[in-house]
């Protein structure tokens, strides 16, 4: 229980002494008897019985505590408990306008960069395809080279359907496997490891198909036989 400070105890004692002195003065002047004029006035207003019932018996003021004390100290409230507590900062912002405004500006900047880049850099098309003269090696676009590389290692059913399907299903189920709501990478080790393995696996297949496959899609070294790849 909190200890009551000394100055509050002295103030309460002074109030009790003052109340006791006032009660003694009232008793010495008029005793315990209520003046007839006051009784007649209250009876005329219709509340005489209630006032008489509530009248003090020993000169103690109405509503006083035990022993005639009119002031009681309930508790001492610490100053720190009544101070306004500020909420901890939350690492969240509203989607509009904060997030969407930044994304809109980023989209405009990227569009401007692509426009200038396509204007400055010439990207001519290759000659018309000749079905009588198939290029060797015949490679898919770079974003499909990882899949073409898988076809050289496994059966088409496994390389073209099973493995890509398992990867897509794993990515779809990833939010249900890791329910951590934190946005910090150190708190999402499972998701970070899973996505890193997926990206490294697909990047390695794409690099091998782009730079380490020569005529006949055979394995070769680019520093020895050259690069058989065109964007």
Instruction: For the chain, give the mean pLDDT.
Output: 77
160-188: per-residue pLDDT in tens? Answer: 899 889 988 988 888 888 888 887 888 88
37-63: per-residue pLDDT in tens? Answer: 666 776 666 544 444 444 444 555 555
Per the CB < 8 A criterion, the answer to whether 213 and 219 are in contact is yes
Pairs from 167-174 (Cβ < 8 Å, separation ≥ 24): 167/198, 170/194, 170/198, 171/198
pLDDT at 205: 92
% of the chain surpassing 90 pLDDT? 17
CATH architecture of 135-231: Orthogonal Bundle (1.10)
16-37: per-residue pLDDT in tens? Answer: 888 776 655 555 554 455 667 6
pTM above 0.85, yes or no: no
């Amino acid at each position: 229980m909190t200890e009551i400070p000394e100055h509050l105890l002295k103030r309460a004692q002074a109030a009790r002494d003052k109340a006791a002195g006032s009660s003694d003065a009232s008793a010495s002047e008029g005793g315990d008897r209520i003046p007839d004029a006051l009784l007649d006035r209250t009876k005329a207003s219709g509340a005489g019985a209630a006032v008489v019932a509530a009248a003090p018996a020993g000169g103690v003021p109405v509503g006083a505590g035990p022993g005639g004390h009119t002031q009681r100290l309930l508790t001492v409230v610490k100053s720190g408990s009544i101070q306004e507590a500020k909420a901890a900062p939350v690492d969240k912002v509203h989607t509009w306008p904060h997030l969407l405004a930044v994304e809109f500006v980023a989209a405009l900047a990227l569009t401007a960069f692509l426009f200038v880049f396509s204007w400055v850099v010439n990207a001519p098309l290759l000659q018309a395809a000749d079905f009588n003269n198939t290029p060797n090696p015949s490679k898919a676009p770079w974003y499909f080279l990882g899949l073409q590389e898988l076809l050289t290692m496994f059966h088409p059913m496994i390389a073209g359907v099973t493995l890509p399907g398992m990867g897509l299903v794993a990515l779809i189920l990833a939010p249900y496997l890791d329910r951590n709501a934190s946005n910090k990478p150190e708190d999402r080790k499972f998701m970070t490891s899973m996505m890193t393995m997926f990206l490294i696996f697909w990047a390695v297949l794409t690099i091998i198909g782009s730079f380490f496959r020569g005529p006949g899609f055979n394995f070769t070294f680019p520093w020895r036989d050259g690069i058989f790849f065109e964007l």
